[in-house]
Chains A and B, each alone.
Chain A
Amino acid sequence: MGQYKKIQDKTLTAMWKYLLKKEFRQFLRDPGMPRMVMMFPFLIILVFPYAANMEVRNIKLAMVDNDRSDQSSLLMEKCASSGYFEVKSVSASPEEAQRMMDDGRIDAILTIDTGFGKYLEGSGPMQDAMPVGIKVNTVNGTRGNIGSQYLNACISGFVMSEKGMDSAPSSQVEIRESYLYNQFMDYKLFMIPALIVIAITMMCGFLPALNIVSEKEKGTIEQINVTPVSKTAFIVCKMVPYIAVAYFMVFSCLLLAKIVFGYGCAGSIFSIIIFTFAHILVMSSFGLLVSNYSENAQQAMFIIWFFSMVFMLMSGIFTPIESMPEWARAITYANPLTYYADAMRGICLKGSTLADTWFDLVCLLGIGGLTTTWAVLSYHKTN
């Protein structure tokens, strides 16, 4: 009996070492995992930022000239040389141009009607409408809108200068624009912190959940359950490699961004560490929660995927929260990514401090506390 007594007395801390060893061995031995972890930062920094670009460029334009005057060709030249447009046709008939738009080959049509030359020559107050028409494809509203704005600017500029109206009126409001934090308006800079957020979400949501479900399916979790290992210790040890991976991703991404683009982080690394930890807590407990309620790996996968999509698309990462309807905004308040992405962008771009972002942190920790408690409770109940 003496030996049993000894085992019993021995503090349980010793077993942590062995559980951790097991998790790391399994993680490193996985055929795909380490490679995926190494590749992710490169994808996130070197590929996706180039795709994430809302800038409207290369608006494809067709011009229809019904006036055939010197002025109309001058206007067409001006539009073509403005640099905003990719001119696809300058001599189409109105029908042809319309067909091109229907087929999706052009985004906008500029039509100069007869009488444009006369319109310009006419002096004094004019009540006639300008004989110029713009047609834009607004299936993508932003693109259409910007296209028409560019065209508008070209035309009014041309008309003004032709009519000698570019001398400023006596009272002119001068507008100066400036953009803080991102003076070159580089969309990459804006997306990189958010892409890091997405990577961490996927890593810490998908992988631990699948790992636990697969131990459940293989039956190895049952074997652990009959040993004195507490469930909490088992789960915590399972999380450790993923936590390590998450931090590796954050720092390698930041480092790569610095090396490749020269983007430094404006805020403190310490705040990033804290926020990342809170987010790992949320995502991994969420993954555990899902694995508790799933019957098999496929279900777990679907559910996690479903929520990752919702988390990503309703967090203000890709499209602003302000543009969502009221009820959708309510959902974003329950979304951990809203807070993590907001904080990461604030810290990296604006140099926000913990004092600036405390609200994000409180919400993130609140959600984390909720999911962790729920996950632990449901985990105990399932056995």
Chain B
Amino acid sequence: MKEIFAFILKEFRHIFRDRRTTLIVLVMPVVQIVLFGFAISTEVHNAVIDVVGDMSDPEVRKIVERIDNNEYLETGEFLHSMSDVETRLRKGKAKAAVCFENNFEDRLHADGRGVVSIISDGADPNTAQIVTNYVKGVIQSEQTEINSSMTAATGSVSMRPNVQLMYNPAMNSSYNFVPGVMGLVLMLICTMMTSVSIVKEKELGTMELVLVSPVKPFWIILSKLIPYLVLSIVNFVSVLLLAVYVMGVPINGSIALLSLVSVVFVGSSLGLGLLVSVISSTQQTAMLLCGMGLTMPTMMLSGIIFPCESMPVALQIFSDIIPAKWFIIMVKKIMIQGAGFQAIIKEFCVLSGMMVLLLWVSIRKFKTRL
């Protein structure tokens, strides 16, 4: 047992002697959480809408005023031709344009039909759709007003069912993205830290020294992991504090459960890093594998920005092997929905299984490499 403590102590010294790296590892997640927690949001604000139409037409003016008053929209320029619309959209100066036909009001009241076309920059389909829906909503509310003024009191109020927004009634997009960013940042930092641990000693040739000692490979690996585990837990705590006190994400569930889940998650990330370290031959390979090889798939596939439900089945299956995905699902359930343990049993088992498997495989590989 004594040797193991000596080993753990040695690893601690190794890591904390490089003050700058330690500092980087501790400060990085804090900055990233703050930046991304606030910046990543799919809500569209201040979308610029150009107008083509006769501004002397009272009905046109009413609709334009409504657009201007809408909190998500902003009126841009008043244009005269479709080619101007095209130019402004191409330059990215406006997100969409509303075009009223000539004599809009007359047609609306005389013929009973007025045509408005919404032309939007479909290059970004998501934003285009959201903006188009906002504009449509504005026009429809004008329509409702016209209708109600015409057909007395058929209130459309009663036409709407009662909608209840669960868990996030204020529709904070941080509730959705902060857990995602937590998973992304924690997983990658843990993995990158650990990925050099073994391969570095291999390169320096100090591994032999360790291997001739009577300590079993299992304990060598464990002693390497413990300092990283400590660093990762410090990171988790700081990230969690920021999420709660700066980003305003609540912890509705139990903190103990959240901590348990996080330890398992950190464990599986460290296991992944360890595996990379054991299989790579140079530090550079190990770091490229983690830095480049893991960043993209984790960002794209773990449901942080793009929902896993919308992916093709093959990719959904692939996304299942990324630990961050499971962590994010659980964090959302515990923190925001306030769910208890039985709601996360499946995810918890999967993540624990991953942790055990990754650690087991790395130890096996480590042994056979001797």
Contact = CB atoms under 8 A, between A and B. Distances in A.
Interface string A133-151: 1111111111111001101
Contacts of B332: 104, 139
Given A58-B310, A302-B192, A325-B38, A138 B169 contact: yes
A182 interface: yes
B64 to A, nearest CB: 13
Nearest to B309: A58
A349 B89 CA distance: 12
A53 B311 contact: yes
A324 B146 contact: no
B114 interface: yes
Interface in A110-133: 125-130, 132-133
A36 B143 CA distance: 57
A262 interface: no
A171 B109 contact: yes
B86 A323 contact: no
28 contacts: A51-B315, A51-B319, A53-B311, A57-B309, A57-B310, A58-B309, A104-B337, A127-B155, A130-B158, A134-B162, A134-B163, A138-B169, A148-B165, A152-B163, A173-B146, A174-B115, A179-B119, A190-B125, A206-B292, A299-B20, A302-B25, A306-B28, A309-B36, A309-B295, A322-B95, A324-B41, A331-B39, A346-B91
A312 interface: yes
B90 A305 contact: no
A47 interface: yes
A137 B112 contact: no
B300 A52 contact: yes
Interface of A: 31-32, 36, 43, 47-48, 50-58, 101-104, 125-130, 132-145, 148-149, 151-152, 155-156, 159-160, 165, 168-183, 185-187, 189-190, 198, 202, 206-207, 210, 214, 295-299, 301-306, 308-310, 312-314, 318-320, 322-325, 327-328, 331, 342, 345-346, 349-352, 356
Contacts of A36: 288, 292
Contacts of A345: 123-124
Contact of B20 (A145, A295, A349): A295
Contacts of A53: 306-307, 310-311
B41 A323 contact: yes
Nearest to B109: A171
Interface stretch (B44-52, B210-218, B226-234, B237-245): B44-52
Contacts of A310: 32, 35
Contact of B336 (A50, A139, A305): A139
A140 B165 CA distance: 11
Nearest to A176: B117
Contacts of B188: 305
Contacts of A318: 40, 305
Contact of B90 (A52, A102, A186, A350): A350
Contacts of A295: 18, 20
A323 B292 contact: no
B172 interface: yes
Nearest to A328: B39
A315 to B, nearest CB: 10
B92 A187 contact: no
Contacts of B114: 171-174
B150 A323 contact: no
A216 B306 CA distance: 40
B7 to A, nearest CB: 21
B112 A129 contact: no
Interface in B120-143: 120-129, 132-133, 136, 139, 142-143
Contacts of B342: 103
A134 B132 CA distance: 24
A141 B176 contact: yes
B192 A305 contact: yes
A371 to B, nearest CB: 20
What 5 A-B pairs come out closest when comparing CB atoms? A179-B122, A182-B122, A132-B161, A185-B125, A328-B39
B97 to A, nearest CB: 9
Name the residue among B36, B92, B118, B295 with the largest chain A CB count within 10 angstroms: B92
A147 to B, nearest CB: 10
Interface string B185-206: 1001000100010000000000
B318 to A, nearest CB: 8
Contacts of B370: none
Given A297-B287, A305-B291, A125 B32 contact: no
A52 B311 CA distance: 8
Contacts of A189: 123
Nearest to B185: A309
A173 B300 contact: no
B38 to A, nearest CB: 6
Contacts of B119: 178-180
B32 A172 contact: no
Contacts of B165: 136, 138, 144, 148
A35 to B, nearest CB: 12
Given A102-B333, A134-B162, 16 more contacts: A31-B281, A53-B307, A125-B154, A132-B162, A134-B161, A135-B166, A141-B43, A160-B159, A169-B147, A180-B86, A190-B123, A306-B28, A313-B35, A314-B36, A327-B38, A351-B90
B299 A312 contact: yes
Contacts of B123: 180-182, 189-190, 345-346, 349-350
B142 A130 contact: no
A137 B307 CA distance: 14
B256 interface: no
A308 B167 contact: no
Contacts of A57: 309-310
B356 interface: no
B308 to A, nearest CB: 9
Contacts of A324: 38-39, 41
A135 B86 CA distance: 41
Contacts of A185: 122, 125, 128-129
Contacts of B112: 168, 170-172
Contacts of A135: 163-164, 166
A334 to B, nearest CB: 12
Name the residue among A160, A177, A302, A351 with the largest chain B CB count within 10 angstroms: A177
Nearest to A137: B166
